Structure 1
Amino acid sequence: MSEHHTGPVEIGAPMNYAEHEKTYNMFLSATKFGTIALCALMIAMAAGFFTAAGFFGGLILFVFLVVAGTIILR
């Protein structure tokens, strides 16, 4: 059914720390840019629904905010 291991847990497969670092950095980047995109979407939706900007004004604002946020974060 299951394997029974005896001995210390530290004796196992060697860890690939470079791959862990790369995965963590990708996660941080996705979190940063995802947050920028969601904030830009909320601002653009507010501009589109509650002002005279309309759909296309909100769309232009969304694209502008995503590009500006991406440039600032780099």
Structure 2
Amino acid sequence: MAEHHTGPAEVGAPMDYKEHEQTYSMFLAAAKYGTLFLVALLLGMAAGFFTGAGFLGGLVVLLIVFIAGLVLLR
């Protein structure tokens, strides 16, 4: 037969708030810089495919946008 529990499995387990804050901070940084990279990549691809810039022009656009974003997001 199934046992009937009246309370939660972990009662009174201490939270590690410092570790939680560090993990959340790392998640926000990864989301921010990941989004920046994807936007720079899309702009570089658009410059490479839809203009006469070609591969090297698109790469230059990607690097310029990514570096400018890094400077602006600090």
Where on the TM-score scale, by shorter chain, does this alignment land: which range? 0.7 to 0.9
Runs (4+) off by over 6 Å: none
| Counterpart check, 1:63 vs 2:41 | no
Q: Where does the alignment leave 5 or more consecutive residues of structure 1 unmatched?
A: none
- Once the 2 structures are TM-superposed, how far is the Cα of residue 13 of structure 1 from its aligned partner? 2.2
Deviation readout 1:33-70 (Å, 9 max, x if unpaired): 00010001001100000101000000011011111101
Alignment CA distance shift 1:59-1:8 (3 Å): closer
Q: Where does the alignment leave 5 or more consecutive residues of structure 2 unmatched?
A: none
- Once the 2 structures are TM-superposed, how far is the Cα of residue 10 of structure 1 from its aligned partner? 6.6
Alpha-carbon RMSD: 2.1
Question: TM-score, normalised to structure 1's length?
Answer: 0.85
Q: How many pairs does the alignment contain?
A: 73
- Once the 2 structures are TM-superposed, how far is the Cα of residue 7 of structure 1 from its aligned partner? 4.0
Identity over aligned residues, as a percent? 61
Give the Cα–Cα distance (whole angstroms) in 1 for the partners of residues 8 and 28 of structure 2: 33
The residue number in structure 2 matching 1:46 is: 46
Amino acid in the other structure paired with 1:60: V
The residue number in structure 2 matching 1:72 is: 72
